Structures are given as structure tokens and as C-alpha cells.
Amino acid sequence: MSAKSAHSNSVRPENSAGSVTPGVAPRLSGIDTWVFDLDNTLYPSECNLFAQIDVRMTGFIANLLGVDKEKAFVVQKRYFKEHGTTLRGLMDNHGIIPEDFLSYVHDIDVTAVDPNPDLASALADLPGRRLVFTNGSVPHAQRVMDRLGISHVIEDVFDIAAADYHPKPRLQTYERFVSHYGINPKSSAMFEDMVRNLTPAAELGMTTVWLRSCYSYGALDHRAESVHYEIDDLVSFLKAQHGG
């Protein structure tokens, strides 16, 4: 059993007030496109996969700027908060070649991610299209999906290169994503561990699902009106969509 599937599911319906109430996951109606973030969403944040990426981003910046790792980490997180991703901040402020950065920071050990046949089954049984929308790269996404055992049930990956390196949560990137696949936002559901990335999705009319995790920046810029459902267990929520 994966770390996420070990949690009990909790759901907060749209516009409800107060604390999250544990309960049975609802079945969403009229959804024909299912959109998933990758890191810390399709695999448990407890895998600490992103911690490896974090270390490599810090190292990249330290080498680029000629500073120690402590100063590099400060720059890294400032760019992340101000620009949406560290990469965008480095592009805007230092003119780096994005492919160099992505290949370096994604050179990590993905064996921390366990195969998840329950997730693969839950995804396969969803009615409609299944897409990954990530601020990472296609090669990184492919390695992670192969490890999870879900590559065969995902139609496509829309990555940071497809977004012309303008990351979530920039609205223009969501509009580009919607146009690229010809999807109707009002019949789409988006799943994210970073709540700020759900705000543009909600603005476009998507149903939004926040997968809470132990990731320290997951709740950054939380806006309750942009979160229709909060969950702890992705697999259970997905199974509820087809009675599994």
C-alpha cells in the first residue's frame, strides 16, 4: 500500500466553511477530462523525491552564481515564490538555458517511488481523457510514470517546455494548456498538491481538487474559493468516480 493510500480520505465540498470533515469521496458529475500535476500528486510526498531535486537546484545555483549553498538556497526559494518556479527566476534574472537546468536537476534516483497498481487501475477506469500538467519536464515525468506503472493510462504530458517556460500558476499557461488539447474547462477536473496552482484552474471553470501533503509549500497562497475539494487519498477519490 502506498503512503497516500494509507491515509483516510477527507473531502471538503466547494464553498463549505470551517474544518475539513472526513467522509466518503463524492462522485463528480460531467467530468470528461482529468488533469493531474506530477510531483507530490501522482506519487506520495513522503517519497521525498522533490527533496533530491531541491538539492540539485541549490547546487546548480551555487555553481552558477559562485555562492555557497546557504545563499543559493535563499535565491532558489525567492525565485520560486516570486516567479512560479526557480527555473523561471533564473531565466528572467540570469538568462540561463532552461534545458541545461532541467536535465541537471532531474538527474535523480526515482526508485524512491514505488509502483502503484491501484493508482494505475483507478486512472484507467476514469471516464474520459487523462493528462499530466507539470512544471517539470517530459523526460522527468516519463521516468516517474514508468516507475509508478501508469504511463499506459496517461494520454499526454504538458510540461514546462510546452508552456514556453511560463510555469503554473500563470493564467496564460492554463489557457495554453486548454487550447492545446481542445478541452472544456467546465467539464475538467484538476488535481494538485500546490494549492496556488488551482486558482487559475478555478478561474477558467475547472473543478479543483487539492491533494494535501507534507510538502512545506503546498498551502502557499491558499485561497479557499479556488479549492472545491480537499483530499488526503488520491486513489480512493478516483475510485469513487467509477464506483471502485
Q: Per-residue DSSP letters for 111-122?
A: GGSPP-HHHHHH
Q: How far apart are CA 62 and CA 56, in angstroms?
A: 10
- The model's pTM: 0.86
Q: Please, which residues have CB within 8 angstroms of residue 54's CB and are 6 or more apart in sequence?
A: 76
How large is the angle between the packed helices 98-105 and 86-94, nearest 10 degrees?
150
* Fold category of 49-105 in CATH: DNA polymerase; domain 1 (1.10.150)
Question: Locate cell 477530462: which residue?
Answer: 33
Q: Hey, where are the domains in the chain?
A: 10-46+114-240, 49-105
Average pLDDT on 58-87 reads: 95
**Predicted confidence (pLDDT) at residue 154 exceeds the cutoff of 70:** yes
Average pLDDT on 173-190 reads: 98
Q: Which CATH class is domain 10-46+114-240?
A: alpha beta
Q: What is the pLDDT of residues 10-49, one digit of tens each?
A: 454 544 432 334 456 788 999 999 999 999 999 998 888 9
Q: How far apart are CA 244 and CA 47, in angstroms?
A: 26
Q: What is the pLDDT of residue 212?
A: 87
**Predicted confidence (pLDDT) at residue 2 exceeds the cutoff of 60:** no
